[in-house]
Amino acid sequence: MTITPTLPAYTEPEGAPEIDPDVPRTIVARRSRQDAVFVHGVTGVAILVLIIVSSIGVFLGIQAIPTLRHYGLSFFTEYRWQPSADIVGIAAVVLGTLQVAAIALLFAFPLSLLTALFITDWAPGWLKPTLIRLVDLMAAIPGIVFGLWVLLFVQPHASHVAHWLSKTFGWIPLFHVRTDTDYPIWSQAPGYPSYAGSAAMAAIAVAMMIFPMATSVMREVFAEAPVGEKEAAIALGATRWAMVRTVVLPFGRSGIVGGTMLALGRALGETISVVLIISQAFEIKPYVLEAGTSTISALIASGFKEASPSQLSALLTAGFVLFCMTLLVNTIAALVVARSRSGQVTEL
pLDDT recorded at residue 207 = 92
pLDDT recorded at residue 184 = 58
Helices 91-117 and 296-303: crossing angle in degrees, nearest 10, is: 120
pLDDT recorded at residue 344 = 46
Angle at 317 between CA 313 and CA 321, to 5 degrees: 170
**Sign of the torsion angle spanned by Cα atoms 9, 15, 16, 17:** positive
User: Which of the pair, 179 or 343, is modelled with greater confidence?
Assistant: 179
Give phi and psi for 13, each to the nearest 5: -65, 155
**Do 89 and 76 touch, CB atoms closer than 8 A?**
yes
pLDDT band for position 343 (50/70/90)? very low
pLDDT tens-digit readout, 197-240:
888 999 999 999 999 989 988 998 898 888 888 888 888 888 88
pLDDT tens-digit readout, 118-143:
999 898 888 999 999 999 888 888 88
pLDDT tens-digit readout, 67-102:
989 888 889 988 888 888 888 889 999 999 999 999
The residues, ordered by sequence, that sit 6+ positions from 343 with a Cβ below 8 Å of its Cβ are: 247, 249, 250, 251, 252, 253
pLDDT band for position 5 (50/70/90)? low
pLDDT recorded at residue 85 = 84
Q: Is the predicted pLDDT of residue 260 greater than 70, yes or no?
A: yes
pLDDT tens-digit readout, 281-316:
888 888 888 888 889 988 888 888 888 888 888 999
pLDDT recorded at residue 190 = 55
pLDDT band for position 335 (50/70/90)? confident
Residue 88 pairs in a beta bridge with 81
- Global pTM reads 0.81
DSSP for residue 293: B
CATH architecture for the domain at 33-338: Orthogonal Bundle (1.10)
pLDDT recorded at residue 37 = 87
Average pLDDT over residues 175-181: 75
Q: Is the predicted pLDDT of residue 58 greater than 70, yes or no?
A: yes
Domain ranges in the chain are 33-338
